[in-house]
Chains A and B, each alone.
Chain A
Protein backbone atom coordinates (compact mmCIF):
# COMPACT_ATOMS: atom_id res chain seq x y z
CA UNK A 1 0.00 0.00 0.00
CA UNK A 2 1.27 3.45 -0.93
CA UNK A 3 1.95 5.84 1.94
CA UNK A 4 2.94 9.45 1.54
CA UNK A 5 3.58 11.47 4.70
CA UNK A 6 4.27 15.18 4.47
CA UNK A 7 5.97 17.22 7.16
CA UNK A 8 7.58 20.61 7.64
CA UNK A 9 4.60 22.91 7.40
CA UNK A 10 3.97 25.71 9.84
CA UNK A 11 3.64 29.44 10.35
CA UNK A 12 6.22 31.65 8.70
CA UNK A 13 6.51 35.37 8.11
CA UNK A 14 6.38 36.86 4.61
CA UNK A 15 9.80 36.59 3.03
CA UNK A 16 10.66 33.57 5.13
CA UNK A 17 11.52 30.01 4.17
CA UNK A 18 10.26 26.53 4.86
CA UNK A 19 11.30 23.08 3.71
CA UNK A 20 8.61 20.49 3.20
CA UNK A 21 9.41 16.80 3.22
CA UNK A 22 7.46 13.82 1.95
CA UNK A 23 8.35 10.31 3.08
CA UNK A 24 7.15 7.64 0.69
CA UNK A 25 6.67 3.91 1.10
CA UNK A 26 4.87 1.00 -0.49
CA UNK A 27 6.20 1.40 -4.03
CA UNK A 28 9.45 1.62 -5.98
CA UNK A 29 10.06 5.27 -5.29
CA UNK A 30 12.95 5.85 -7.67
CA UNK A 31 10.98 5.15 -10.83
CA UNK A 32 8.10 7.54 -10.18
CA UNK A 33 7.75 11.22 -10.90
CA UNK A 34 6.70 12.94 -7.68
CA UNK A 35 4.57 16.04 -7.42
CA UNK A 36 3.50 18.78 -5.05
CA UNK A 37 -0.04 20.15 -5.30
CA UNK A 38 -1.52 22.80 -3.02
CA UNK A 39 -4.93 24.05 -1.99
CA UNK A 40 -5.29 27.54 -0.61
CA UNK A 41 -8.09 28.17 1.91
CA UNK A 42 -11.42 28.24 0.12
CA UNK A 43 -9.74 27.77 -3.25
CA UNK A 44 -9.24 24.96 -5.74
CA UNK A 45 -6.28 22.72 -6.37
CA UNK A 46 -3.07 24.07 -7.90
CA UNK A 47 -0.17 21.99 -9.18
CA UNK A 48 3.11 23.36 -7.81
CA UNK A 49 6.06 21.27 -8.96
CA UNK A 50 7.18 17.87 -10.23
CA UNK A 51 10.43 15.93 -10.33
CA UNK A 52 11.16 12.85 -12.41
CA UNK A 53 12.37 9.61 -10.87
CA UNK A 54 16.02 10.31 -11.59
CA UNK A 55 15.68 13.98 -10.78
CA UNK A 56 16.67 14.92 -14.32
CA UNK A 57 13.40 16.60 -15.19
CA UNK A 58 11.91 19.28 -12.99
CA UNK A 59 8.90 21.50 -13.57
CA UNK A 60 7.46 24.44 -11.65
CA UNK A 61 4.28 26.45 -11.77
CA UNK A 62 4.90 30.02 -12.87
CA UNK A 63 3.60 31.21 -9.51
CA UNK A 64 6.53 29.61 -7.64
CA UNK A 65 9.31 29.57 -10.24
CA UNK A 66 12.48 31.10 -8.88
CA UNK A 67 11.31 30.81 -5.27
CA UNK A 68 10.65 27.09 -4.76
CA UNK A 69 13.05 24.21 -5.36
CA UNK A 70 12.00 20.57 -5.59
CA UNK A 71 14.46 17.77 -4.92
CA UNK A 72 14.49 14.11 -4.01
CA UNK A 73 16.65 11.53 -2.28
CA UNK A 74 15.92 8.11 -3.70
CA UNK A 75 18.03 6.44 -1.01
CA UNK A 76 15.69 7.87 1.59
CA UNK A 77 12.48 7.52 -0.46
CA UNK A 78 11.83 11.18 0.08
CA UNK A 79 10.94 14.26 -1.90
CA UNK A 80 11.37 17.83 -0.71
CA UNK A 81 10.10 21.29 -1.47
CA UNK A 82 12.32 24.18 -0.42
CA UNK A 83 10.17 27.30 -0.30
CA UNK A 84 11.89 30.68 -0.15
CA UNK A 85 10.62 34.25 -0.32
CA UNK A 86 7.24 33.08 0.88
CA UNK A 87 4.20 35.26 0.28
CA UNK A 88 0.76 35.38 1.84
CA UNK A 89 -0.65 33.81 -1.30
CA UNK A 90 1.50 30.73 -0.70
CA UNK A 91 -0.68 29.92 2.31
CA UNK A 92 -2.16 26.51 1.55
CA UNK A 93 -2.25 22.85 2.38
CA UNK A 94 0.57 21.24 0.43
CA UNK A 95 0.06 17.68 -0.78
CA UNK A 96 2.69 15.21 -1.90
CA UNK A 97 1.28 13.29 -4.86
CA UNK A 98 2.57 10.17 -6.58
CA UNK A 99 -0.11 10.01 -9.26
CA UNK A 100 -3.81 10.64 -9.55
CA UNK A 101 -4.56 7.87 -7.10
CA UNK A 102 -2.02 8.48 -4.36
CA UNK A 103 -2.00 11.64 -2.28
CA UNK A 104 -0.60 12.35 1.16
CA UNK A 105 -2.72 13.92 3.87
CA UNK A 106 -1.11 17.31 3.39
CA UNK A 107 0.80 19.79 5.52
CA UNK A 108 -0.42 23.32 6.21
CA UNK A 109 1.77 26.27 5.37
CA UNK A 110 0.64 29.62 6.72
CA UNK A 111 2.45 32.78 5.64
CA UNK A 112 1.48 35.66 7.88
CA UNK A 113 3.08 38.41 9.91
Chain B
Protein backbone atom coordinates (compact mmCIF):
# COMPACT_ATOMS: atom_id res chain seq x y z
CA UNK B 1 0.00 0.00 0.00
CA UNK B 2 1.12 3.57 -0.65
CA UNK B 3 1.73 5.44 2.60
CA UNK B 4 0.88 9.14 2.76
CA UNK B 5 2.79 11.16 5.34
CA UNK B 6 1.39 14.59 6.05
CA UNK B 7 2.95 17.39 8.07
CA UNK B 8 2.54 19.23 10.30
CA UNK B 9 -0.21 17.54 12.28
CA UNK B 10 -1.39 20.89 13.66
CA UNK B 11 -0.62 24.48 12.94
CA UNK B 12 -1.78 27.80 14.29
CA UNK B 13 -1.54 30.95 12.22
CA UNK B 14 -3.02 34.40 12.01
CA UNK B 15 -5.46 35.83 9.54
CA UNK B 16 -3.56 36.83 6.42
CA UNK B 17 -0.66 34.43 6.97
CA UNK B 18 0.64 32.14 4.25
CA UNK B 19 0.28 28.52 5.28
CA UNK B 20 1.84 25.42 3.72
CA UNK B 21 1.00 21.77 4.36
CA UNK B 22 3.17 18.98 3.01
CA UNK B 23 2.23 15.48 1.93
CA UNK B 24 4.75 12.81 0.99
CA UNK B 25 3.93 9.56 -0.79
CA UNK B 26 5.92 6.39 -0.18
CA UNK B 27 6.16 5.82 -3.92
CA UNK B 28 5.62 7.72 -7.14
CA UNK B 29 1.94 8.62 -7.59
CA UNK B 30 2.53 11.01 -10.51
CA UNK B 31 -0.05 13.74 -9.88
CA UNK B 32 -2.89 11.56 -8.61
CA UNK B 33 -3.31 13.54 -5.43
CA UNK B 34 -6.24 15.37 -3.91
CA UNK B 35 -6.57 17.75 -1.00
CA UNK B 36 -9.73 17.92 1.12
CA UNK B 37 -11.02 20.26 3.79
CA UNK B 38 -12.94 18.62 6.62
CA UNK B 39 -15.22 20.37 9.07
CA UNK B 40 -17.29 18.64 11.75
CA UNK B 41 -20.69 17.47 10.58
CA UNK B 42 -20.04 17.99 6.88
CA UNK B 43 -18.78 15.83 4.05
CA UNK B 44 -15.18 16.30 2.91
CA UNK B 45 -14.82 19.23 0.54
CA UNK B 46 -12.51 18.73 -2.40
CA UNK B 47 -10.10 21.64 -2.77
CA UNK B 48 -7.46 20.43 -5.19
CA UNK B 49 -7.35 17.49 -7.61
CA UNK B 50 -4.58 16.17 -9.82
CA UNK B 51 -2.16 17.79 -7.36
CA UNK B 52 -2.60 21.34 -8.65
CA UNK B 53 -6.05 21.80 -10.20
CA UNK B 54 -8.39 24.00 -8.23
CA UNK B 55 -11.88 22.56 -7.81
CA UNK B 56 -14.66 24.78 -9.08
CA UNK B 57 -15.93 27.17 -6.44
CA UNK B 58 -12.87 26.92 -4.22
CA UNK B 59 -11.28 30.28 -3.37
CA UNK B 60 -8.12 31.08 -5.31
CA UNK B 61 -6.13 31.49 -2.08
CA UNK B 62 -5.88 27.68 -2.10
CA UNK B 63 -3.27 26.15 -4.37
CA UNK B 64 -1.54 22.83 -4.76
CA UNK B 65 1.79 21.83 -6.21
CA UNK B 66 4.09 18.88 -6.59
CA UNK B 67 4.33 15.59 -8.42
CA UNK B 68 5.84 12.19 -7.88
CA UNK B 69 6.20 11.88 -4.12
CA UNK B 70 6.23 15.44 -2.72
CA UNK B 71 3.18 17.67 -2.62
CA UNK B 72 2.11 20.87 -0.94
CA UNK B 73 -1.13 22.66 -0.21
CA UNK B 74 -0.76 26.40 0.24
CA UNK B 75 -3.25 28.89 1.61
CA UNK B 76 -1.91 32.23 0.48
CA UNK B 77 -3.83 34.42 2.93
CA UNK B 78 -5.44 32.53 5.78
CA UNK B 79 -9.06 33.41 6.54
CA UNK B 80 -11.18 32.62 9.61
CA UNK B 81 -13.32 30.23 7.57
CA UNK B 82 -10.20 28.15 6.83
CA UNK B 83 -10.19 26.74 10.33
CA UNK B 84 -10.53 23.03 9.58
CA UNK B 85 -8.63 19.79 9.13
CA UNK B 86 -6.95 19.15 5.79
CA UNK B 87 -6.18 15.74 4.32
CA UNK B 88 -4.28 14.63 1.28
CA UNK B 89 -5.29 11.50 -0.62
CA UNK B 90 -3.60 9.45 -3.30
CA UNK B 91 -5.83 7.90 -5.93
CA UNK B 92 -3.05 6.53 -8.10
CA UNK B 93 -3.91 2.99 -7.06
CA UNK B 94 -6.06 0.99 -4.68
CA UNK B 95 -6.21 0.99 -1.79
CA UNK B 96 -6.75 4.72 -1.73
CA UNK B 97 -4.79 6.13 1.18
CA UNK B 98 -5.03 9.37 3.08
CA UNK B 99 -2.65 11.51 5.04
CA UNK B 100 -3.17 11.70 8.79
CA UNK B 101 -4.54 15.22 8.53
CA UNK B 102 -3.43 18.72 9.47
CA UNK B 103 -5.57 20.68 11.89
CA UNK B 104 -5.38 24.38 11.08
CA UNK B 105 -6.28 26.88 13.76
CA UNK B 106 -6.82 30.49 12.85
CA UNK B 107 -5.75 32.79 15.66
Residues of chain A whose beta carbon lies under 8 Å from any beta carbon of chain B: 35, 37, 39, 44-47, 50, 59, 61, 95, 99-101, 103-106
Cβ–Cβ contact B96 & A37, under 8 A: yes
Asked if A106 meets B43 with Cβ closer than 8 Å, knowing A47-B95, A47-B96, A47-B97, the reply is: yes
Interface residues on B, range: 20 to 34
Asked if A35 meets B96 with Cβ closer than 8 Å, knowing A44-B101, A45-B89, A100-B91, the reply is: yes
Cβ–Cβ contact B98 & A44, under 8 A: yes
Give chain B residues whose Cβ lies under 8 Å from the Cβ of A99.
91
Residues of chain B whose beta carbon lies under 8 Å from any beta carbon of chain A: 34, 36, 38, 43-44, 46, 49, 55, 85, 87, 89, 91, 94-101
Query: Which one of A35, A45, A61, A103 has the highest number of Cβ atoms from chain B below 10 Å of its Cβ?
Result: A45
Cβ–Cβ contact B46 & A44, under 8 A: no
13 contacts between A and B (CB under 8 A): A44-B85, A44-B87, A44-B99, A45-B87, A59-B94, A95-B43, A95-B44, A100-B34, A100-B46, A100-B91, A101-B49, A101-B55, A103-B46
| Extra contacts besides A45-B87, A47-B97, A50-B94 (11): CB < 8 Å | A37-B96, A44-B100, A44-B101, A45-B36, A45-B38, A45-B89, A45-B101, A47-B96, A101-B55, A103-B43, A105-B43
